[in-house]
Copies of this chain bind each other. A is one copy, B any other.
Amino acid sequence: MSVRVSTRDRVHRAVLELVAEVGVPGLTMEGVAARAGAGKQTIYRTWDSPLHVLLDALLTASQDADGRVEVPDTGDLATDLRVLVDGMVAELTDPPSDAMMRHVVALLPDRPGLGEELQERLLRPQVAAIEARFERAGVAESGPAAELLLGPVFHRWLLRTGPFSEQWIATHVRLVVQALST
């Protein structure tokens, strides 16, 4: 990570432009280097693949952007969970993030370290906030609870079985709350 700051920035800008133009499968180290006005070695010195470049760019952008995910607490669990689910849906459906995450999980079986980074830095904050809210509500096992809440969201995102409508989210959250309230 010892590349000069300006170079890193140019590369990040380049990969974000390119992914919008050609998609993730169209990204190449050569293309990124050319667009960034950098030598190929400079790219290879820091990143392993176009996907790493994109991941880094998105992580950097998201770290710059969001302060921290706040845990809302209006008193009504369902309302708060809807807010948190909305946040996750926004992340999952942002086109470059969407495509990037799909390709990252495609490579999960092959590249051990890759998944950790993705999860830790992009998904964890949202999950942690959800778990925190469950705990505050007195739910015993916040882990499985969060899984029950997020699972169908990921399922719908991954397989595109239907849209993330207001209504669907509301129904789904209601079901989950129901499952835990007994």
Contact = CB atoms under 8 A, between A and B. Distances in A.
Contacts of A160: 108, 115
Interface stretch (A4-12, A62-70, A72-80, A173-181): A173-181
Interface of A: 23-25, 95, 98-99, 102-103, 105-110, 115, 119, 123, 144, 147-148, 150-156, 158-161, 171-172, 175-176, 178-180, 182
A137 to B, nearest CB: 16
A98 B106 CA distance: 9
Contacts of A178: 179, 182
Q: How many copies does the complex hold?
A: 4
A171 to B, nearest CB: 6
A110 B25 contact: yes
7 nearest A-B pairs in the assembled complex, by CB-CB distance: A179-B179, A151-B152, A151-B151, A106-B106, A151-B155, A102-B106, A154-B155
A172 B143 CA distance: 11
A105 B123 CA distance: 19
A44 to B, nearest CB: 17
Contacts of A175: 144, 148, 179-180
Given A105-B102, A148-B175, A158 B158 contact: yes
Given A103-B106, A179-B178, A155 B144 contact: no
A144 B158 contact: no
A115 B156 CA distance: 13
A103 B24 CA distance: 12
Given A147-B152, A182-B178, A102 B98 contact: no
